[in-house]
């Protein structure tokens, strides 16, 4: 299991979007609840892990859609801002 600390270190470098953070926060709670109903404590632990991954992935997808849908500023061109010489 030496890869788990590396994942935690690398995962801390990224700044999640708002939906990603909500999904990663709510996913474990929902997953643990469903897992507990299905398989007790062991099911709750597995459900929390699966819920966190799924919630974070869905939130990241929603954040990426918001970034793509956001209007982008128009590129400025020198001809659009130049005025003719008044001399």
Nearest to 28 by CA among 58, 56, 46, 51: 51
**Whole-structure pTM value:** 0.59
Render pLDDT for 18-71 as a digit per residue (tens, 0 to 9). Answer: 888 888 888 889 999 999 999 889 999 999 999 999 998 998 999 888 888 877
- Does residue 74 register a pLDDT over 70? no
Q: Which domain holds residue 54?
A: 17-66
Q: Residue 87: CB partners within 8 Å, gap ≥ 6?
A: none
The predicted model gives 11-16 an average pLDDT of 59
The residue to which tokens 């709510």 are assigned? 26
The predicted pLDDT at position 14 comes to 58
Which runs of consecutive H residues, i.e. helices, occur in the chain?
A: 3-11, 18-69, 78-81
Is 32 within a domain? yes
Is 42 within a domain? yes
Render pLDDT for 34-49 as a digit per residue (tens, 0 to 9). Answer: 999 998 899 999 999 9
Is 79 within a domain? no
Is 4 within a domain? no
User: How many domains are contained in the chain?
Assistant: 1
């Amino acid at each position: 299991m030496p890869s788990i600390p590396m994942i935690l270190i690398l995962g801390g470098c990224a700044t999640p979007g708002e939906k990603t953070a909500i999904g990663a926060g709510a996913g474990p709670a929902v997953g643990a609840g469903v897992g507990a109903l299905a398989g007790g404590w062991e099911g709750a632990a597995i459900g929390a892990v699966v819920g966190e991954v799924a919630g974070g992935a869905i939130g990241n997808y929603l954040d990426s859609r918001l970034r793509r849908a956001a209007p982008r500023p128009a590129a400025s061109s020198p001809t659009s801002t130049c005025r003719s010489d008044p001399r």
